Amino acid sequence: MILPGATLGVLGSGQLGRMFVIAACRLGYRTAVLADHPDDPAAQVANEVFLAADQPVAAAAELARACEAVTLEFENIDLAVAEAVAQHVPLHPGPRVLHIAQDRGEERIFLDSIGAPTARHRILESEADAVAAHAELGSDLIFKTCRSGYDGRGQARLHAGSDAAEAFRSLGGARCLAEAVVPFERELSVILARRESGETAVYPPFHNVHRRHILDVTEWPAPDLPAGAAERAEELARSIAEGLGMVGVLCVEMFLEADGNLLVNELAPRPHNSGHVTIEAAWTDQFEQQVRAVAGLPLGATGPRQPGAMVNLLGDVFEQGTPDWARALAHPQAKLHLYGKREPRPGRKMGHLTVLDTDPKRAASAALVLREQLN
């Protein structure tokens, strides 16, 4: 166990790192971050900042020497950076999990190996593979680059009559995952924390609605699930965490089909945007859970203290000038989180709003009204 007073490190300096740092601070830890810029969201609040600059591997090794354990906020980090850290201190999740989670192809091979259900898929290495997949998997397909896609970037949608070779080329001609479009009823995520001892604490599923490929609204606990779906989703996430030997926080994004069937979409081996609602709504939030898991402390309770909903605040809410924050703050059940980013660009995650209510759907409606009223 790494006890409070020790220094915990995080690779990355965005909002997820920031909220990890805040949770660690609350438990009496010191924190260090690997940042691109000294004014990044997590760098603003950490005790120590190591600038990646043009020597990220050396900076990461330096950070590791200042820490008792290190975690991360984003899986797409250079494996050389991860290995430089892991040489000095425990890195959770470690290089094996990162190797899998950084590459949709490797991730699918892993999920197949443990029998986790996913949409029908093929890994594409060439234009010929792309054409064959379009013929074999059905006409409605999505091609996703295996590496470094997020928020819908690096994806191409195909229909009957689409030119599959051209779609493959448009994504840069690198290895892709082709998968059938799932006519899902809903998108869910399951977040859990797992310690080295194997102790695992799973949150009830989150119901997520995306807009323009970016998470827009989360309701928690996911309301009106078919009987048994929550338990099956939690069990599925648990088996994935075990298969990975995950230490830290893991999010499993899933599709729920009309017949109640669950399919895994993708994995994030770190806190997830859908879990932000746990900060107010759960007994233990996902960032404190990450601190506990990484430090080897007992995990906290994951049940809802009160149901709630979260809406994301993207740079778009700044389009007509500074949003009317006072309006949101005046609502007694609302909580405003801003990440300290100076430049609001469209699509950039600037903050989020959480509303608590005994009914998570009513919470979501209220949060959406509040967001509307920001300008």
Give the interface with ligand ATP as residue ranges (CB under 6 A): 119, 142, 144, 149-153, 179, 181-182, 187, 210, 213, 253, 265-266
Residue placing its CB nearer to ligand ATP in the complex, 127 or 151: 151
Across the strands, what pairs with 193?
A: 201, 249
For the bound state, the minimum distance from the C-beta of residue 60 to ligand ATP, rounded and expressed in Å, comes to: 23
Tell me whether residue 165 or residue 214 sits nearer to Mg ion (CB atom).
214
In the complex, minimum distance from the CB of residue 220 to ligand ATP, in angstroms, rounded to a whole number: 16
Sequence-separated (6 or more) residues with CB below 8 Å from residue 304: 204, 220, 221, 281, 282, 283
Contacts of 196 (CB under 8 A, 6+ apart): 92, 247, 296
At its nearest, how many Å lie between ligand ATP and the CB of residue 351?
17
The nearer residue to Mg ion, 253 or 288, going by C-beta atoms, is: 253
Q: What is the smallest separation between the CB atom of 265 and Mg ion, expressed in angstroms?
A: 6
Site map for Mg ion, 66-105, x if CB under 5 A? ----------------------------------------
Q: How far is the CB of 151 from Mg ion (least distance, A)?
A: 8
Element (H, E) at 59: helix 56-65
Which residue's Cβ lies closest to ligand ATP?
182
- Report, in Å, the least distance between residue 333 CB and ligand ATP: 27
* 3-state SS assignment for residue 182: coil
User: Quick one: tokens of 344?
Assistant: 């609001």
- What's the CA angle centered on 53, arms 49 and 57, to 5 degrees? 85
Region binding Mg ion by CB under 5 A among candidate stretches 49-57, 92-100, 261-269, 292-300: 261-269
The number of residues that bind Mg ion (CB under 5 A) is: 2
| Distance (Å, whole) CA 308 – CA 359 | 7
Burial (CB < 10 A; 0-12, 13-18, 19+), residue 350, is buried
Are the beta carbons of 261 and 117 closer than 8 angstroms? yes
Residue 159 or 210: which CB sits closer to ligand ATP? 210
User: If contact means CB under 5 to 8 A according to the sort of partner, which of Mg ion, ligand ATP, none does residue 325 touch?
Assistant: none
Q: How far is the CB of 119 from ligand ATP (least distance, A)?
A: 5
* Footprint on residues 262-291 left by Mg ion (CB under 5 A): 266
Q: Which stretch binds Mg ion (CB under 5 A): 78-86, 250-258, 306-314, 362-370?
A: 250-258
| Interaction partner, residue 151 (Mg ion, ligand ATP, none; CB < 5-8 Å by kind) | ligand ATP
Residue 179 interacting entry, from ligand ATP, Mg ion, none, C-beta within 5 to 8 Å by type:
ligand ATP
Residue type at 257 in one-letter notation: E
Closest to 233 (Cα-Cα) out of 81, 116, 129, 368? 116
Which among ligand ATP, Mg ion, none contacts residue 84 (Cβ within 5 to 8 A by kind)? none
Other Cβ atoms less than 10 A from the Cβ of 227: the count is: 7
Q: Please, where are the H alpha helices in the chain? A: 15-26, 56-65, 79-86, 95-101, 104-113, 127-136, 164-170, 229-244, 278-281, 286-295, 325-329, 360-372
> What is 280-349 written as a DSSP string?
HHBSS-HHHHHHHHHHTPPPPP-SBSS-EEEEEEEGGGGTTSS--HHHHHTSTTEEEEE---S---TT-E
C-beta closer to ligand ATP: residue 68 or 253: 253
- The token pair at 147 is 């590496």
The residue among 90 and 205 lying less far from ligand ATP, judged by its C-beta, is 205
| C-beta of 146 vs 363, nearer to ligand ATP | 146
Q: Are 268 and 300 in contact (CB under 8 A)?
A: no
Nearer to ligand ATP, 153 or 305 (CB): 153
Min CB(357)–ligand ATP separation in Å: 25
Under the rule (CB under 5 A), what is the footprint of Mg ion?
A: 253, 266
